[in-house]
């Protein structure tokens, strides 16, 4: 069992005493509702049931609507031509944010608070007979969600607007579930949560003289499963970020999630039914 001398822990840990629970009722999908949503993106056609998602496509683009959530992904149909490094440059960051904000407002703002947290770029590099040319083809304006000022972590809570050099939106994804406020529950003290985490099997083979684990941050929030998985409640969690250093691995950065409320054995069994399978998380 690892000892505390193995770990470098943050000081002055604190967290709210209680947290609001949020239910995420599954959507009721009808063919008419699916087609109406696709038409908002200029895509009309027969929807194809692909199991975890519905796909509608035509010569203008493609929309994927996830059956287990309100999540969707849209892409504009682009010409089938050899890739070329664009001569034009992308709009500046302020203009990119304006374009993305207007697009989200027009196509539906999720009920979670979406906050922009960065812009990433898609670059194309072409080598033509030894002559290399490189340029940025698209910008991706990225958003994350909060509820009651707390972050919603996980693959089921993000939004992204992709913009080309002409300032046109070419792709859009919105991974989110509509939420309904429920009851309030006591939060596990962060010191207790961190002790449970450091005593877990993750670190069972590490020894203080040969390794060091630095916990950089611990933050309270909610966890959203991937959009293709059924989830009826956002799971309150602590997000733990740290670095493991050993003689053979000087620095390995990790992010883990520790459930922040106490679940009974019966509740854990029920979670395995309604959340997909979050039991490894718990």
In-domain check, residue 252: yes
List pLDDT tens digits, range 77-94: 887 777 888 888 999 999
Could you tell me which residues are beta bridge partners of residue 134? 125
Specify if 107 maps to a domain: yes
Measured distance CA(21)–CA(183) in Å, rounded:
6
Q: What is the pTM of this model?
A: 0.87
- Same structural domain, 110 and 164: yes
Read off the pLDDT of residues 159-184 as tens digits, 9 standing for 90 and up.
999 999 999 999 999 999 989 999 99
The CATH code of the domain that includes 109 is: 3.10.450
d(CA 112, CA 114): 6
Total number of domains constituting the chain: 3
Residue 186 sits in a domain of what CATH number? 2.40.128
Position 281 in a domain = no
Give the pLDDT score at 1.
44
Residue 79 sits in the same domain as residue 164:
yes
Residue 138 and residue 211 in one domain: no
Tell me whether residue 279 is in a domain.
no
Q: Does residue 78 share a domain with residue 128?
A: yes
Residue 253: give the domain boundaries: 4-22+181-274
Q: Which residues contact 163 (CB under 8 A, 6 or more apart)?
A: 90, 91, 96, 99, 100, 138, 139, 140, 141, 169, 170
At 208-244, the pLDDT tens digits run 778 889 999 999 999 999 999 988 889 999 999 999 9
Residue 40, CA distances (Å) to 36, 45, 103, 168, 235 in order: 7, 13, 11, 16, 31
Question: Both 116 and 40 in a single domain?
Answer: no
d(CA 67, CA 61): 20
């Amino acid at each position: 069992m690892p000892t505390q001398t193995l770990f470098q822990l943050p000081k002055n840990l604190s967290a709210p005493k209680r947290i609001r629970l949020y239910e995420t009722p599954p959507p009721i999908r009808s063919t008419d509702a699916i087609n109406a949503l696709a038409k908002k993106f200029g895509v009309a056609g027969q929807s194809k049931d692909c199991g975890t998602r519905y796909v509608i496509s035509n010569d203008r683009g493609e929309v994927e609507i996830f059956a287990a959530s309100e999540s969707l992904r849209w892409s504009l149909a682009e010409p089938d031509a050899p890739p070329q490094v664009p001569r034009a440059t992308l709009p500046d960051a302020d203009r990119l944010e304006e374009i993305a904000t207007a697009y989200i407002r027009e196509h539906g703002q999720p009920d979670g608070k979406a906050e922009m947290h960065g812009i990433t770029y898609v670059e194309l590099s072409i080598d033509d007979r030894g002559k290399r040319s490189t340029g940025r083809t698209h910008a991706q304006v990225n958003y994350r969600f909060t509820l009651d000022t707390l972050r919603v972590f996980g693959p089921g809570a993000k939004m992204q607007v992709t913009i080309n050099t002409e300032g046109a939106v070419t792709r859009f994804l919105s991974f989110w579930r509509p939420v309904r406020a429920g009851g309030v529950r006591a939060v596990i003290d962060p010191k207790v949560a961190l002790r449970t985490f450091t005593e877990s099997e993750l670190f069972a083979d590490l020894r203080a003289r040969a390794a060091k684990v630095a916990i950089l941050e611990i933050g309270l929030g909610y966890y959203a499963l991937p959009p293709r998985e059924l989830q009826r409640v956002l799971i309150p969690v602590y997000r733990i970020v740290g670095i493991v250093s050993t003689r053979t691995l000087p620095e390995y950065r990790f992010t883990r999630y520790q459930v922040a409320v106490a679940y009974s054995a019966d509740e854990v069994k029920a979670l395995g039914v309604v959340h997909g399978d979050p039991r490894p998380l718990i």
